[in-house]
Structure 1
Amino acid sequence: MEPIPRHWASVREVRSLPDGRELDLTVHGSSDDSPEDARRDAGERLERLVAAGGPRPVGRGDREYYPDRRLPEELLQEIRSPEGALVGAITRNRYGAAVLNTDTVLVSDVDLVDETARDRPPSARGGLLSRLFGSGSESAPDDERDPDAFGRQGPGPRGEHHARIVTLIDDFTRRHPELGVRSYRTRNGFRLLITGADAAPGSDRARELMAEVRSDELYVLLCRVHDTYRARLTPKPWRIHVEPFRDLGSRTAADDVHRRWVEHYQAASADVAVCRLLNITGPTPDALEQQIIDLHDRAVRPESGLRLA
């Protein structure tokens, strides 16, 4: 996989577009060399965006756009093979969670959908970026009342949807005996780690496999933009009663405010897990795939019995 940039910078300007519109644009730049080079990259990307006529819409009624490259995230760790090849990286996303980035194992997320949300206007459902990266507006659930909080199937429409997804995953594993599939329950859905697929994140093969299990379409787009599969390793802050740190990805551990937030977040994360392991099927992963699986499982604590967050 390609290395994750080490330096980030942002440029925000109100610019006139060729069609006469004026937009307040924010563009991120990156560099492996220096913050100054990242700022130069951001400026050049802003000029290209203006010349191209501005951001492109993504549909679904949202009046936002999805960026054509990854957003700023602090690089926490690189994972390399015994031969030294980069096979993964852990970053901290914009609301503070640690995220595994890899192209070694196919990762697919499947959401338990609130069916009533489909009929709400975008303003009620939140914008595209807030739904992808978290706005902090989601209230922390009352885990004692929520039957899914501990990864169990509950009654009612949500429980029925849970059962349908389990059946869908079972059907997928029967259709693809050549693939290794580790299925997990997350706080609001499912995660699959699929081995033996030999499918790059932006490939048709990856898109087809994720479509078979009805992976969230925004997650699929996120993987294509980042050119890696992504798996959140630590809780969403608001689920453990921690305020998300705005624009955390553009800061570094050298920042005192950043460091204090991370310490508070890590302490609050001690009594929760991110995934619950449900099932393992198919061939044994190869050594590199197993390296990524082991790292993932150490972080998400899938057999701890702790509540999911």
Structure 2
Amino acid sequence: MKYFKFWVKESFQISIAGKTQEIKLLSGSNESKNAAIEEARNRAKMIEQRIADRSRKEEYEVAIKEHVSDIIDESNIISICRYGAKILNTNQYTILDLDDYPVDIFDVFKSLGKMSKKERIVFKFQERIKRYPLLGSDFRIYETTKGVRVIGKKYINPSEKNYTSLMRKLFVDWIYIQMSKKQNCYRARITPKPYRMRIRTIRIKSPLDCETNAYLDWSKEYEQKSEKYSVVKLIKAIGQDFSHEPVIKIHDRICNLHKNNKLA
């Protein structure tokens, strides 16, 4: 998981086919703004060289391009997403948001018809984990507005060879799978979506937007309204209880789990 505490957006002049062109780069550093500027300058030179050499861009772990509001520890941070909600980013736990479930031919012989959609998702997930012991045996399963969130105590590294295949078998969203692989972590929204609370949604185009007065003013109303909503409700725990672990306690507290409010 790669993230930065300090961000800058700088313009540079580079040469392309003998002509000077301007490029703008968003760059980050964990040292300082000045270090981020130097990093941007180095990137501009690399881009110029790569264009001149006609070389392909190398594959590498993508940084989380979001403002970091809290660093819990080296494996867990909280960032602000593009619409202002707080996101837990972790490479300590496996977090899956499931909005649907896989259907198979043997479902006709099961009592799925009497279950709600969320109950079916949980039922299907519990079936799947019996087939794939790689996932571990300890889980916390939560209800979300539209589906189910699963937090697994065992971390499944997204860079592992059969990761995509395993996630698809669990019916994890394709975009979420790709994001987990690129950022080498899992993400979970821990504060409500603004539109579900009927307040104005802010557009955050870069981490720098979170340093503006416009964002700071908006965030006061957002945080005040958020207290009246929950993001998750606990459905069940499977295996060993790990609710006492610091990151899980933070997740549950910020999600307003124990307030049992309306989900948003």
User: Shorter-chain TM-score: which interval?
Assistant: 0.7 to 0.9
Describe the shift of the 1:161–1:11 C-alpha distance in structure 2 as closer, same or farther (beyond 3 A): farther
Task: Return the index of the structure with the highest Cα Rg.
Answer: 2
Deviation of 1:27 after TM superposition, in Å, equals 4.2
| 1:10-25 correspondence to structure 2 within 5 Å | 10-11=9-10
Alignment-derived partner of residue 122 in structure 1: none
1:95 pairs with 2:83: yes
Larger displacement relative to structure 2 (161-170 or 298-307):
161-170
Alignment-derived partner of residue 183 in structure 2: 226
Q: How far, CA to CA, are the matches of 2:143 and 2:171 in structure 1?
A: 15
Describe the shift of the 1:279–1:73 C-alpha distance in structure 2 as closer, same or farther (beyond 3 A): same
Superimposed CA distance per residue, residues 81-137 of structure 1 (whole angstroms, 9 cap, x where no aligned partner): xxxxx2311111222111111111111122349xxxxxxxxxxxxxxxxxxxxxxxx
8 Å CA contact 1:9–1:29 kept in 2: the answer is yes
Deviation of 1:246 after TM superposition, in Å, equals 2.6
Larger displacement relative to structure 2 (93-102 or 104-113):
104-113
Task: Report how many aligned residue pairs link the two structures.
Answer: 242
Superimposed CA distance per residue, residues 57-96 of structure 1 (whole angstroms, 9 cap, x where no aligned partner): xxxxxxxxxx96234312211113xxxxx23111112221
- The one-letter code matched in structure 2 to 1:72 is K
Describe the shift of the 1:303–1:208 C-alpha distance in structure 2 as closer, same or farther (beyond 3 A): farther
What is the TM-score of this pair, normalised by structure 1? 0.65
Q: Aligned to 2:201, what secondary structure does the other structure show?
A: coil
Deviation of 1:201 after TM superposition, in Å, equals 3.5
The RMSD of aligned alpha carbons is 3.6
Alignment-derived partner of residue 254 in structure 2: 299
Larger displacement relative to structure 2 (269-278 or 243-252):
243-252
- The one-letter code matched in structure 2 to 1:92 is I
Q: How far, CA to CA, are the matches of 1:293 and 1:225 in structure 2?
A: 24
Describe the shift of the 1:44–1:186 C-alpha distance in structure 2 as closer, same or farther (beyond 3 A): farther
8 Å CA contact 1:7–1:32 kept in 2: the answer is yes
Describe the shift of the 1:230–1:55 C-alpha distance in structure 2 as closer, same or farther (beyond 3 A): farther
Equivalent in 204, 209, 215 of residue 172 of structure 2 = 215
Deviation of 1:233 after TM superposition, in Å, equals 0.8
Which ranges in structure 1 are unaligned for 5 or more consecutive residues? 57-66, 81-85, 114-154
Alignment-derived partner of residue 32 in structure 1: 30
Alignment-derived partner of residue 150 in structure 2: 192
Alignment-derived partner of residue 77 in structure 1: 70
Q: How far, CA to CA, are the matches of 1:195 and 1:250 in structure 2?
A: 33
Describe the shift of the 1:189–1:168 C-alpha distance in structure 2 as closer, same or farther (beyond 3 A): same
Describe the shift of the 1:17–1:73 C-alpha distance in structure 2 as closer, same or farther (beyond 3 A): same
Alignment-derived partner of residue 231 in structure 2: 274
Alignment-derived partner of residue 174 in structure 1: 130
Equivalent in 92, 96, 107 of residue 95 of structure 2 = 107
Describe the shift of the 1:174–1:42 C-alpha distance in structure 2 as closer, same or farther (beyond 3 A): same
1:263 pairs with 2:220: yes
8 Å CA contact 2:89–2:187 kept in 1: the answer is yes
Q: Aligned to 1:172, what secondary structure does the other structure show?
A: helix
Superimposed CA distance per residue, residues 166-199 of structure 1 (whole angstroms, 9 cap, x where no aligned partner): 3321212433564211111212222110113x42
Alignment-derived partner of residue 6 in structure 1: 5
Q: How far, CA to CA, are the matches of 2:33 and 2:11 in structure 1?
A: 16
Q: How far, CA to CA, are the matches of 2:171 and 2:11 in structure 1?
A: 36
Q: How far, CA to CA, are the matches of 2:92 and 2:40 in structure 1?
A: 30
Q: How far, CA to CA, are the matches of 2:229 and 2:195 in structure 1?
A: 13
Alignment-derived partner of residue 151 in structure 1: none
Q: How far, CA to CA, are the matches of 1:109 and 1:94 in structure 2?
A: 18
What is the TM-score of this pair, normalised by structure 2? 0.75
Superimposed CA distance per residue, residues 24-79 of structure 1 (whole angstroms, 9 cap, x where no aligned partner): 976431111222332343344455457367999xxxxxxxxxx9623431221111
